[in-house]
């Protein structure tokens, strides 16, 4: 090939869109049945109060969290063995599967306490939760859906962020939780768990 043609081919190749294979939710369903359902539920709805439901969760968030766990950046001992060495394609297919499922509140959700829920709702605006998680609190891209989640899980996650024991891709959640008391976190968790 002549040098001019080689340069033209290189420029053309660089200009073409590079697309990764599409995420395969059906393949992800098979992977989830083998690797995830014991803890996160057969339908992505965890029956364990301290383990998050993944049904309807943002695919980008699941992908990011799995990579952080796989690479040892986020420490979740129960997930370490599952994530270790998991190929990117498996992670992306699992994320696509869980994101495709309809979200639903936990079946064992505690009865709603109006005063506690009201106290939690009052913290949403000042903490600017809706800026990142959207006003609906359903998340976007790499930011999670936080409504209709297990109350215990939400309280634990927020406490870990507040206390600097949990990290994400950045420190925004750690900053958002600074200054919250345990009672504030309990109120937020209760409100979010009861918002569908």
Q: How far from the centroid of its chain's Cα atoms is residue 171's Cα?
A: 16
Q: Yes or no: say if 43 and 132 are a contact pair by the CB < 8 Å rule.
A: no
Which residue bears the tokens 């006003």?
135
Q: What does 150-193 look like in DSSP terms, one character per residue?
A: -HHHHHHHHHHHHTT----SSSHHHHHHTT--HHHHHHHHHHHH
User: Is residue 158 part of an annotated ligand binding site?
Assistant: no
Task: Check pLDDT > 80 for residue 184.
Answer: yes
What is the tens place of the pLDDT at every residue in 130-163? 999 999 999 999 999 999 999 999 999 999 999 9
- What pLDDT is recorded for position 169? 72
Q: How large is the average pLDDT for residues 170-193?
A: 95
pLDDT confidence of residue 21 = 56
Rounded-to-integer distance, Cα 39 and Cα 103, Å: 16
pLDDT tier for residue 183 given thresholds of 50, 70 and 90? very high
Mean pLDDT of 35-51: 94
Residue 196: strand, helix, or coil: coil
| Residue bearing tokens 């109006």 | 114
Give helix 88-100 / helix 25-35 axis angle, nearest 10°: 100
Query: What is the rounded average pLDDT of the residues 166-170?
Result: 77
The answer to the question of whether 40 is labelled as a binding residue is: yes
What is the set of domains in the chain, with CATH numbers? Answer: 25-100 (1.10.760.10), 114-193 (1.10.760.10)
Residue 170 pLDDT > 50, yes or no? yes
pLDDT of 7 higher than 50 = no
Determine the pLDDT at residue 167. 75
Residue 18 has what pLDDT?
39
Strand partners, 143: 140
Is 190 annotated in some ligand binding site? no
Q: Calculate the dihedral angle through the C-alpha atoms of 137, 140, 146, 149, rounding to the nearest 10 degrees.
A: 120
- Residue 79 known to bind ligand: yes
In three-state form (DSSP H/G/I as H, E/B as E, the rest C), the secondary structure along 95-145 is: HHHHHHCCCCCCCCCCCCCHHHHHHHHHHHCCCCHHHHHCCCCCCECCECC
Could you give the angle at the alpha carbon of 43 between the alpha carbons of 23 and 148, nearest 5°?
Answer: 100
Chain segment 8-33, per-residue pLDDT in tens? 433 333 333 434 557 899 999 999 99
pLDDT in tens, 82-135: 999 999 999 999 999 999 999 998 888 999 999 999 999 999 999 999 999 999
39-55 mean pLDDT: 95
Binding site annotation covers 39?
yes
Residue 4: exposure state from Cβ atoms within 10 A (0-12, 13-18, ≥19): exposed
- State residue 14's pLDDT score: 39
């Amino acid at each position: 090939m002549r040098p001019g043609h080689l340069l033209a081919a290189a420029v053309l190749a660089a200009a073409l869109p590079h697309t990764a294979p599409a995420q395969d939710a059906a393949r992800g369903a098979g992977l989830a049945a083998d690797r995830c359902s014991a803890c996160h539920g057969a339908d992505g709805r965890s029956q364990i109060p301290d383990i998050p439901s993944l049904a309807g969760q943002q695919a980008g968030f699941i992908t990011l969290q799995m990579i952080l766990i796989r690479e040892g950046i986020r420490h979740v001992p129960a997930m370490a063995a599952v994530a270790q060495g998991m190929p990117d394609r498996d992670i992306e297919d699992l994320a696509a599967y869980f994101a495709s499922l309809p979200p639903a509140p936990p079946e064992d959700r505690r009865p709603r306490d109006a005063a506690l829920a009201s106290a939690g709702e009052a913290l949403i605006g000042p903490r600017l939760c809706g800026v990142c998680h959207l006003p609906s609190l359903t998340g976007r891209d790499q930011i999670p859906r936080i409504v209709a989640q297990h109350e215990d899980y939400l309280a634990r996650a927020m406490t870990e962020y507040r206390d600097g024991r949990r990290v994400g891709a950045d420190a925004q959640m750690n900053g958002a939780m600074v200054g919250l008391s345990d009672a504030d976190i309990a109120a937020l968790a209760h409100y979010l768990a009861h918002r569908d």
